[in-house]
Amino acid sequence: MNKLVGNFLALASIIALVACQAKSPPVSNSLNTKQKPEAAVANLAKIAQRCWFKSGDKAFKPYRMANEVSSFAGQPRFLLVPRKNPGGLPLLVVQAEKKGSASSGTFTNINAFGPLIQGSNGQRILSDVNRWSRGETACT
């Protein structure tokens, strides 16, 4: 009996340890605007460039922006990639996509996602993208 209880406790400990090690799912942010997708992303990228990069913001110094506003897939976007590895995997993606229908009305859905959203500046990034999507242009 003691061996069974010992095995159970060992298994429970392993499960608890694995659960602690598991990464949480990516946090995403989605909102809608009346702008066309290309215009929405171009505007967001312009403000992000000014506020995050040209301002000398230290939080964004390790990154560089890659614009993909002309998208044949209908999802214009801009990316933040590692400054020292511009061909590396994106750490932040902000993309727009036309949604809805002629009968219900169309809109542009803006979605921000990637590992930076889960980092220490994640809430700031989401707040900036939300604010800029509503037409505000101020930096934080």
The whole-number pLDDT of residue 103 equals 85
Write out pLDDT tens, residues 62-95. 999 998 888 777 799 999 999 999 899 999 999 9
- Does a structural domain hold residue 31? yes
- Does a structural domain hold residue 56? yes
3-state secondary structure of 10: helix
> Which of left, alpha, beta for 105 (phi over 0: left; psi -120 to 50: alpha)?
left
Tell me which amino acid residue 41 is: V
DSSP letter at 63 equals E
- Does a structural domain hold residue 5? no
Confidence of residue 1 (pLDDT cuts 50, 70, 90): low
**Tokens of residue 17, six digits:** 């340890």
- Does a structural domain hold residue 16? no
Residue of higher predicted confidence among 17 and 51: 51
- Does a structural domain hold residue 12? no
The whole-number pLDDT of residue 19 equals 39
Confidence of residue 28 (pLDDT cuts 50, 70, 90): very low
> Count of domains in the chain?
1
> Containing domain of residue 43, as a range?
26-133
3-state secondary structure of 23: coil
- Does a structural domain hold residue 53? yes
Confidence of residue 15 (pLDDT cuts 50, 70, 90): very low
- Does a structural domain hold residue 58? yes
First to last CA, the chain: 62
- Does a structural domain hold residue 138? no
- Tell me how many degrees the CA angle 91-94-95 measures, rounded to the nearest 5: 130
60 pLDDT higher than 90: yes
**Cβ neighbours of residue 80 under 8 Å, at least 6 residues apart?**
60, 63, 64, 65, 66, 90, 91, 92, 114, 116
CATH number, domain of 88, equals: 3.30.530
The whole-number pLDDT of residue 25 equals 35
Residue of higher predicted confidence among 63 and 3: 63
d(CA 26, CA 64) in angstroms, rounded, equals 21
